[in-house]
Structure 1
Amino acid sequence: MKQIIFFVGIILFATSCISNKRITYLQNLSDSTAIDLDEFIPFAEVDYEYILQPFDIVQIDFASSDPELVEGFTYLTNPQNLGTRVGGGGGQGSDPLYMTGYSIDQEGMVEIPKLGKIKIAGMSEEQAKLVVQQEINKFFKDDVFVRLRIAGIRYTTMGEFNNVGVQIIYKNRATIFDALANSGETSLLAKKNKLFLIRQYDGGTKIHQINLNDRALLGSPWYFIQPNDILYLEPMKIRQIGTADNLTASLALIAGLFASILLIVNLVSGDI
């Protein structure tokens, strides 16, 4: 009986452990055992430049030596004029730039006071800035300066993330690892070799599979995330015993289980 319990324990222990190879990022997956930590991995051949899409939010700022010239453009985007609508929510859902930024509609247009609707979808930030600058120059020549940029990168995490839901990075350029860190990292049970990235394109959506274990990711087109990306991580088939999150806790749990079983076996043997 004790031998049976011993072998059962070995099986339980083996199935409750997760190999480091399955959870370590950026491994050298080649057959070579040498690892060059100074290895240079260039970005993808196509330089990263985000193209604005419908439903994006952009921040447009106007500046001039004469404050009266820009007053009509900045009134709606000034938090002081929005009362309690900005900053009152707090917590994870607080997104002030949603209230102060300009939303691109389904037709790719952004509506700016006095200028009306201007199409900027399908353009880079710099191209969109030049278009808005040209429109405002019709009224004020070169007296008003325009700055246009993406109002943060909004993406969604689902599955084996420690923090799921809509996430925001207040930058105009972020990597997949920025997204992971901003989401509280992945859980221990996440399939890091099967991260599904759901991305919007002009006229549709595509699903890309990413291997976070492979260092080649650093040079792939998916290294940088984009606004409206959805990141989904599948769970491994293996399941942890109880709620243990590390090896020490798992061993303690298994030891307690064995002690209980041995106690029962001894009691039964004594009765016999």
Structure 2
Amino acid sequence: MNKLFYLISSIIIILGVISCNSAKNVAYIQGAGENDMAGYVQTSPMYDARILPKDLLTITVSATDPEAVKPFNLTVPSLTTGSSTYSQPALQKYLVDNNGQINFPVLGMVTLSGLTKREAETKITGLLQKYLKEPPVVTVSFVNYKISVLGEVARPNTFTIVNEKVNIFEALAMAGDMTIYGKRDNVKVIREDADGNQSVIVLNLNDPSIIHSPYYFLQQNDVVYVEPNKTKAKSSEIGSATSLWISGTSILISLAGLLVNILRK
């Protein structure tokens, strides 16, 4: 009986070690306990999205005299769903071309690429002042601020970001979080810059300093790819169900054989 007790104890210890190792691989932001969080507190500038080529913008110009700013607020007719009749017109959307410019009413071609929304509003306001008696209020908004998340996540998809600000953890949350097979220390972000150059950035989400990375906040049109770990890669070769069945059967057979040998002695 002592041998059986030691055998069972050993199995429990081994399973405990395996589960601890698995937990270490799954947890985000490791090593940032209550006592050492002060080491990770830093003052960082607030993130602000910058306009890029192929962004779609809406630009509204307002003033106390609506007629004075009417030439700067172009509208397009919008069709009512399921009907051929027209409903209330919608504001004209402006596509930023490959040169980073938009064709704005009266002003003509205006370069906005690389500017934040506030900077773009300030620039357009300055250009409009010579056409208006009073400084207008210009509001710039993104129409197509989207990011995509795919790979080892629960719900891969493309998501529209309403507030134009999203970090890597928020993006994963929208996709239902990573599965247990996702590699937390090797998450890839595919990004295209204003010149059309694409790059792949690797992020380690186990590292607490990730919150200070310049890539912590995602940019419009970023693609987040979660790579599968070795366990998922191996199981995919023969199918996850078959793999689990074979593993479970092998363990049971091994345990049964050991118990039979012990009880015979």
Which structure has the larger Rg over C-alpha atoms? 2
User: Equivalences for 1:7-22 in 2 at 5 Å?
Assistant: 19-22=22-25
Q: Secondary structure at the match of 1:142?
A: coil
1:113 maps to which of 95, 98, 105: 105
Q: Which residue of 2 aligns with 1:66?
A: 65
Alignment of 1:158 with 2:157, yes or no, is no
Amino acid at match of 1:144: P
Alignment of 1:212 with 2:205, yes or no, is yes
Q: Which residue of 2 aligns with 1:130?
A: 122
Question: Structure 1 residues 114, 186: CA separation in 2 closer, same or farther (over 3 Å shift)?
Answer: same
* TM-score where L is the length of structure 2: 0.70
* TM-score where L is the length of structure 1: 0.68
Amino acid at match of 2:191: R
Question: How far apart are the structure 1 equivalents of 2:231 and 2:221?
Answer: 31
Aligned residues: 227
Q: C-alpha deviations, 1:110-155, integer Å up to 9, x for none? A: 1223332211112222221122112222221425311124346311
Higher relative contact order (CA 8 A, sep 6+): 1
Q: Which residue of 2 aligns with 1:199?
A: 191
CA contact (8 A) 2:27 2:206 kept: yes
Question: How far apart are the structure 2 equivalents of 1:226 and 1:159?
Answer: 19
Amino acid at match of 1:165: N
Question: Structure 1 residues 215, 113: CA separation in 2 closer, same or farther (over 3 Å shift)?
Answer: same
Q: Which residue of 1 aligns with 2:27?
A: 24
CA contact (8 A) 1:200 1:229 kept: yes
Question: How far apart are the structure 1 equivalents of 2:153 and 2:219?
Answer: 18
Amino acid at match of 1:71: K
CA contact (8 A) 1:196 1:208 kept: yes
Question: Structure 1 residues 43, 111: CA separation in 2 closer, same or farther (over 3 Å shift)?
Answer: farther
* TM-superposed deviation, 1:209: 0.5
Question: How far apart are the structure 2 equivalents of 1:184 and 1:63?
Answer: 40
Question: Structure 1 residues 19, 147: CA separation in 2 closer, same or farther (over 3 Å shift)?
Answer: same
Alignment of 1:51 with 2:61, yes or no, is no
* TM-superposed deviation, 1:38: 4.6
Q: Which residue of 1 aligns with 2:3?
A: none
Unaligned 5+ residue runs, structure 1? Answer: 1-9, 86-96, 245-249, 263-272
* TM-superposed deviation, 1:175: 1.4
Question: How far apart are the structure 2 equivalents of 1:191 and 1:179?
Answer: 16
Taking only aligned residues, the RMSD between alpha carbons, in angstroms, comes to: 3.9
Q: Secondary structure at the match of 2:171?
A: helix
Amino acid at match of 1:213: N
* TM-superposed deviation, 1:227: 0.8
Q: Which residue of 1 aligns with 2:260?
A: none
Q: Secondary structure at the match of 1:19?
A: helix
Q: Which residue of 2 aligns with 1:83?
A: 79
CA contact (8 A) 1:152 1:172 kept: no
Unaligned 5+ residue runs, structure 2? Answer: 1-10, 82-89, 257-265
Alignment of 1:147 with 2:143, yes or no, is no
Q: Secondary structure at the match of 2:188?
A: strand
Question: How far apart are the structure 2 equivalents of 1:38 and 1:152?
Answer: 36
Amino acid at match of 2:106: K
Question: How far apart are the structure 2 equivalents of 1:200 and 1:110?
Answer: 19
Question: How far apart are the structure 2 equivalents of 1:44 and 1:109?
Answer: 34
